[in-house]
């Protein structure tokens, strides 16, 4: 089969790496594959059928369903299937993941890597680093599929969950009402619902978890921002008494071991709050179905085993759907499938780099910028540094500008009143004899002190004035780092991934690998 489809070489690190149209297309394709296989018809038209196409499974953390469904899906396709053995590989000799993957790329004409690791954002890093290597070495760029990265995302699980919900609703995507039950604090599969449920036009979500295990506010906000109706309950008893119970329940395993000593004496009470009991059966809506990404805790399952043989059991079929959805994903990533996709593709991230604007200069006769011992006659004055921020932050910002831009020169700086009000302050840094700032330094200055102005002074007059806005991206600094310890970019992980952030709010920056959001000041290490 020709492999020229539009998804060829696509990396799926997060659910949002597929547009809504692409997600719907995936579900339609998985539906066709499942129907064909289940009805015993010939599924050949869905196969990659290329022994030279390599699917490499790299599972550095435990897995049963994800690893085995991907392995079986790759076998279905008739491609070369490899399992990476971390225990006996050069990982034990401290080799980086990106070095190992670059080497594996050379063993086949084209590859797809499926990765489960504790390192968050690893697929994005490999897509960039191995992608650059492949371009220079003449290999087609591999696809990287995230099979679960720490607490970050598990997008292929989300796709199979949504496929299962659609199946339950007979393909009707007009409305869904579901309950998310269990450990909503730790469960990455329930966090992904904020994105994945967006394929339905109307969404009502009931969150059922004791306060200690409740959904982190960032995901609740995302759900509300997406137009979902969201209601919260602290226990199943409270929920069942509400009178408006969802017919679809999605459970997650309790991960109390992650919470340490502070919950040990409350563990039984937390479990009780979300564990289903026989007396609750009569309060469920007719035709209700329970789902669970599994594994289920064999000692204390929140879905007890007495439910296994009842029509309520949707979790076994859900887990089997992983096979069909992953057949579809591998077929798309190889380029063998997807040729008839006609919807809106995912737009790549674009950064508006033009954050330096030239401002008008007001002519004045008297010398300007009388900062320091004497006015600057020729040089540069950086004004409005951290204007309006607390005085301590203004001093810190002045210090950062000097240290990051290497301004160890004759100069002066200070914190002064701003014209904006009696209690409003700003920093000013005057640099006599420095007559030019190149674009790279301007970018750096904008990143350190957004909102400042840079004045070029000649013969005691402002010749040019530039305003520097908050840049859309901050990268290329030794002095920045993501504060998520599990992020692939943390130096401790020795992957060589440089810290990079994109602006996602007025003073908010999000890590380009692991999606951790930071306040502007938090990204700096100075
Ligand atoms: N649902 C899920 O990811 O299961 P595994 O950990 O067994 O892959």
419 & 394 share domain: yes
For the chain, the distance separating the N- and C-terminal CA atoms, rounded to the nearest angstrom, is: 55
List helix spans (H) across 275-350: 315-334
Is pTM beyond 0.75? Reply is yes
Q: 64 by DSSP, 3-state: which? A: coil
Q: What is the DSSP string of 196-251?
A: HGGGSSSEEEEEE--GGGPPPHHHHHHHHHTT-EEEEESSHHHHHTTS---SEEEE
Least confident stretch, 150-154, 308-312, 390-394, 437-441: 437-441
103 & 55 share domain: yes
Between residues 440 and 301, which one has the greater pLDDT? Answer: 301
| 516 is a domain residue | yes
Q: What is the pLDDT of residues 106-126, one digit of tens each?
A: 999 999 999 999 999 999 999
303, 334, 365 - which closes a domain: 334
Q: State the closest ligand 1 atom to the C-alpha of 293, by its place in the atom list counted from 1.
A: 1
406 & 374 share domain: yes
Q: State the closest ligand 1 atom to the C-alpha of 319, by its place in the atom list counted from 1.
A: 1
DSSP structure class, residue 313? B
125 & 182 share domain: no
Between residues 267 and 341, which one has the greater pLDDT? Answer: 341
What are residue 429's phi and psi, to 5 degrees?
-130, 120
Q: Is the pLDDT of residue 364 over 70?
A: no
CA distance 133 to 146: 20
Dihedral sign for Cα atoms in the order 369, 370, 376, 381: negative
Taking CA atoms only, the protein residue closest to ligand 1 atom 6 is 63
| 6 is a domain residue | no
**What number of other Cβ atoms are within 10 A of residue 377's Cβ?**
14
298 & 374 share domain: no
What are residue 460's phi and psi, to 5 degrees?
65, 15
Pocket test for ligand 1, best of 60, 61, 62, 64 (most atoms within 8 A of CB): 64
Residues 416-425 have a mean pLDDT of 87
Biggest alpha carbon distance in the chain? 90
Do the Cβ atoms of 251 and 302 come closer than 8 Å?
A: yes
| 166 is a domain residue | no
- For the chain, what's the residue count? 526
Share above pLDDT 70 across residues of the chain, in percent, rounded to a whole number:
97
Q: What is the pLDDT of residue 421?
A: 82
Do the Cβ atoms of 186 and 214 come closer than 8 Å?
A: no
Q: What is the pLDDT of residues 273-320, one digit of tens each?
A: 999 999 999 999 999 999 999 999 898 899 999 999 999 999 999 999
Q: Is the pLDDT of residue 369 over 60?
A: no
225 & 328 share domain: no
CA distance 358 to 463: 11
Do the Cβ atoms of 191 and 219 come closer than 8 Å?
A: yes
Contact partners, residue 353, CB within 8 Å, separation at least 6: 471, 472, 473
307 & 262 share domain: yes
Q: 283 by DSSP, 3-state: which? A: helix
| 340 is a domain residue | no
Q: What is the pLDDT of residues 177-213, one digit of tens each?
A: 999 999 999 888 999 999 999 999 999 999 999 999 9
Q: State the closest ligand 1 atom to the C-alpha of 62, by its place in the atom list counted from 1.
A: 6
Ligand 1 binding pocket includes 444 (Cβ within 6 Å)? no
| 349 is a domain residue | no
Q: What is the pLDDT of residue 354?
A: 62
Q: State the closest ligand 1 atom to the C-alpha of 147, by its place in the atom list counted from 1.
A: 3
Q: Find the 63 Cα to ligand 1 centroid distance in Å.
A: 5
Q: Find the 436 Cα to ligand 1 centroid distance in Å.
A: 57
Which residues are bridge partners to 54 per DSSP? 80, 111
Q: Find the 4 Cα to ligand 1 centroid distance in Å.
A: 31
| Distance set, CA 343 to CA 31, 332, 353 (Å) | 18, 15, 29
428 & 492 share domain: no
Instruction: List the CATH number of the domain containing 403.
Output: 3.30.70.140
DSSP structure class, residue 295? P
Taking CA atoms only, the protein residue closest to ligand 1 atom 7 is 64
CA distance 266 to 260: 11
What DSSP element (H or E) covers 37? Answer: helix 20-38
Between residues 433 and 390, which one has the greater pLDDT? Answer: 390
19 & 147 share domain: yes
Does the N-terminal peptide bond of residue 295 adopt cis geometry, omega within 30 degrees of 0?
yes
SS (H, E, C) 98-165: HHHHHHHHCCCCEEEEEEEECCECHHHHHHHHHHHHHHHHCCCCCEEEEEEECCCECHHHHHHHHHHH
Instruction: List the CATH number of the domain containing 139.
Output: 3.40.50.1370
Ligand 1 binding pocket includes 450 (Cβ within 6 Å)? no
| 417 is a domain residue | yes
Do the Cβ atoms of 19 and 346 come closer than 8 Å?
A: yes
Ligand 1 binding pocket includes 146 (Cβ within 6 Å)? no
| 8 is a domain residue | no
What are residue 10's phi and psi, to 5 degrees?
-75, 140
Instruction: List the CATH number of the domain containing 514.
Output: 2.30.30
Q: Find the 374 Cα to ligand 1 centroid distance in Å.
A: 68
303 & 329 share domain: no
Least confident stretch, 174-178, 222-226, 354-358: 354-358
Q: Which domain holds residue 516?
A: 474-523
445 & 487 share domain: no
Q: Find the 294 Cα to ligand 1 centroid distance in Å.
A: 6
Dihedral sign for Cα atoms in the order 443, 447, 451, 453: negative
Least confident stretch, 143-157, 173-187, 271-285, 343-357: 343-357
Into how many domains does the chain fold? 4
What DSSP element (H or E) covers 82? Answer: strand 80-83
Q: State the closest ligand 1 atom to the C-alpha of 322, by its place in the atom list counted from 1.
A: 1
| 164 is a domain residue | no
Share above pLDDT 90 across residues of the chain, in percent, rounded to a whole number:
76
Dihedral sign for Cα atoms in the order 49, 51, 54, 55: positive
Do the Cβ atoms of 17 and 10 come closer than 8 Å?
A: yes
Q: State the closest ligand 1 atom to the C-alpha of 148, by its place in the atom list counted from 1.
A: 3
21 & 126 share domain: yes
Q: What angle do CA 511, 484, 18 make, to 5 degrees?
A: 45
Q: Is the pLDDT of residue 101 over 60?
A: yes
Q: What angle do CA 323, 182, 515 make, to 5 degrees?
A: 70
Q: What stretches of 405-524 adopt beta strand conformation (E)?
A: 412-417, 425-432, 453-458, 461-468, 473-475, 500-505, 508-511, 517-519
């Amino acid at each position: 089969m020709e492999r020229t489809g539009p998804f060829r070489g696509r990396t799926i690190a997060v659910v949002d790496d597929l547009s809504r149209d692409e997600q719907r297309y995936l579900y339609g394709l998985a539906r066709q594959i499942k129907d064909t296989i289940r009805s015993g018809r010939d599924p050949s038209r869905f196969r990659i059928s290329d022994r030279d196409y390599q699917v490499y499974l790299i599972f550095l953390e435990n897995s049963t369903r994800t690893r085995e469904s991907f392995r079986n899906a790759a076998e279905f396709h008739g491609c070369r299937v490899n399992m990476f053995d971390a225990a006996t590989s050069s990982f034990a000799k401290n080799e980086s993941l990106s070095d190992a993957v670059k080497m594996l790329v050379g063993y086949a004409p084209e590859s797809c890597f499926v990765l489960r690791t504790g390192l968050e954002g690893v697929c994005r890093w490999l897509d960039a680093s191995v992608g650059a290597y492949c371009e220079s070495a003449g290999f087609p760029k591999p696809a990287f599929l995230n099979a679960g990265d720490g607490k970050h995302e598990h997008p292929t699980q989300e796709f199979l969950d949504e496929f299962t919900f659609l199946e339950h609703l007979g393909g009707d995507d007009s409305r869904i009402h579901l309950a998310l039950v269990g450990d909503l604090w730790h469960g990455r599969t329930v966090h992904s619902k904020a994105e994945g449920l967006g394929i339905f036009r109307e969404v009502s979500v009931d969150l059922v978890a004791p306060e200690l295990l409740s959904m982190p506010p960032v995901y609740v906000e995302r759900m509300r921002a997406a137009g979902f109706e969201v209601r919260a309950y602290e226990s199943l008893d409270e929920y069942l008494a509400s009178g408006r119970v969802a017919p679809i329940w999605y459970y997650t395993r309790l991960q109390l071991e992650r919470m340490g000593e502070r919950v040990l004496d409350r563990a039984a009470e937390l479990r009780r709050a979300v564990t289903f009991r026989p007396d609750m059966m009569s309060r469920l809506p007719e035709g209700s179905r329970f789902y669970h990404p599994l594994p289920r805790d064999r000692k204390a399952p929140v879905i007890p085993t007495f439910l296994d043989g009842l029509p309520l059991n949707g979790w076994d079929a859900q887990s089997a759907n992983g096979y069909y959805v992953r057949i579809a994903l591998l077929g798309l990533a190889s380029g063998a499938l997807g040729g008839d996709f006609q919807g809106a593709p995912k737009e790549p991230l674009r950064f508006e780099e033009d954050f330096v604007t030239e401002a008008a200069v007001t002519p004045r006769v008297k010398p300007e910028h009388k900062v320091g011992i004497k006015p600057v006659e020729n040089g540069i004055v950086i004004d409005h540094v951290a204007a309006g921020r607390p005085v301590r932050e203004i001093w810190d910002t002045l210090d950062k500008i000097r240290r990051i831009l290497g301004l160890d020169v004759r100069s002066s700086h200070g914190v002064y009143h701003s014209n904006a009000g009696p209690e409003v302050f700003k920093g000013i840094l005057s640099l006599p004899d420095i007559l030019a700032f190149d674009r790279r330094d301007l970018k750096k200055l904008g990143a350190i002190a957004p909102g400042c102005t840079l004045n070029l002074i000649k013969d005691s007059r402002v010749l040019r004035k530039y305003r520097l806005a908050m840049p859309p991206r901050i990268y290329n600094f030794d002095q920045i780092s993501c504060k998520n310890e599990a992020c692939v970019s943390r130096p401790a992980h020795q992957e060589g991934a440089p810290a990079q952030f994109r602006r996602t709010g007025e003073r908010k920056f999000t890590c380009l690998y692991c999606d951790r959001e930071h306040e502007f000041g938090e990204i700096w290490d100075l």
